[in-house]
């Protein structure tokens, strides 16, 4: 269960240290017009850049961020970068930091947002996990950002549920080639087609590397069209942001 704290945002419901803030934006409360209505936070989807900037400013003002959230140029890769220092190259699908008031941010519209912190509240990370990134090893790379896997807490945010995520043989075989452990996350539909449970895949890979404290929000982006964007449902659409930072 995830608690909605306001019209812009849902808080991650997990036992993170008190200095760690985390959650996911909703699609409401912004300036973007259809089909990006209304709190679209992505500059790469065809939305009016001025509207996106205004939407991002709404978040910064609401949370009183001391620095702008670290927006990535996501490419469905396994690349995760440190944001402890200012970087020019933002081509990555995840970020991590040990610094206070730096906001790790990823955007999704069906893929899995994964937020991580350690139990001591001294390190955080955020990753964008679609099937391509998963098969490239982004889950394993995220764990490497921390010294001890057993000390990691994970919150899995809103994403597409298995009932609405049918995949073909290419995705199925790619995932099993990465790890045969994830086979149980696929349910056969018809010839060479399966329903894929992305949350289960992510959880299996995390647990296999020693991460045991995993919390799921159980919210489907495809079904909850009033709250979330969904690329598979709508095609051309906006993106919500999952964010984590230390105060």
Residue 230 near residue 109 (C-beta atoms within 8 A): yes
CATH topology of domain 3-239: 3.60.140
Distance CA 89, CA 71 (A): 11
Q: Average pLDDT, stretch 71-83?
A: 96
The first and second tokens of residue 55, run together, are 């939407």
Tens of pLDDT, residue by residue over 140-171, are: 999 999 999 999 999 999 999 999 999 999 99
Lookup: tokens for 193 = 């087609």
pLDDT for residue 225: 96
- Cα–Cα distance, 6 to 15 (Å, whole number): 20
Per-residue pLDDT, 85? 83
Specify the pTM: 0.95
pLDDT digits (tens, 9 = 90+) for 199-237: 999 999 999 999 999 999 999 999 999 999 999 999 999
- Can you give the residue ranges of every domain in the chain? 3-239
SS3 content of the chain, % helix, strand, coil (to 5): 25, 30, 45
Q: Which band of pLDDT confidence, cut at 50, 70 and 90, is reported for residue 49?
A: very high
With 0-12 / 13-18 / 19 or more C-beta atoms within 10 angstroms meaning exposed / middle / buried, residue 235 is exposed
**What is the residue-averaged pLDDT of the chain?**
95
Assess whether pLDDT exceeds 90 at residue 1.
Answer: no
């Amino acid at each position: 269960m995830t608690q909605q704290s306001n019209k812009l945002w849902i808080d991650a419901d997990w036992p993170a240290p008190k200095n760690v803030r985390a959650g996911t934006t909703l699609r409401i409360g912004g300036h973007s017009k259809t089909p990006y209505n209304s709190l679209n936070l992505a500059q790469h989807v065809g939305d009016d850049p001025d509207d996106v900037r205004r939407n991002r400013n709404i978040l910064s003002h609401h949370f009183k961020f001391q620095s702008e959230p670290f927006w990535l140029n996501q490419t469905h890769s396994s690349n995760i970068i440190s944001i402890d220092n200012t970087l020019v190259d933002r081509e990555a699908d995840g970020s991590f930091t040990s610094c206070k008031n730096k906001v790790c941010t990823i955007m999704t519209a069906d893929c899995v947002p994964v937020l991580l912190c350690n139990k001591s509240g001294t390190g955080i990370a955020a990753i964008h996990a679609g099937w391509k990134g998963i098969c490239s090893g982004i889950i394993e790379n995220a764990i490497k950002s921390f010294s001890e896997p057993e000390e990691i807490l994970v919150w899995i945010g809103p994403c597409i549920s298995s009932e609405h995520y049918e995949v073909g043989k290419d995705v199925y075989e790619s995932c099993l080639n990465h790890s045969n452990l994830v086979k149980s996350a696929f349910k056969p539909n018809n010839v060479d087609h399966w329903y894929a449970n992305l949350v289960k895949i992510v959880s299996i890979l995390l647990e296999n590397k020693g991460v045991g404290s995993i919390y799921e929000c159980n919210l489907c982006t495809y079904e909850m069209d009033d709250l979330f964007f969904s690329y598979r449902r709508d095609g051309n659409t906006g993106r919500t942001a999952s964010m984590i930072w230390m105060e």
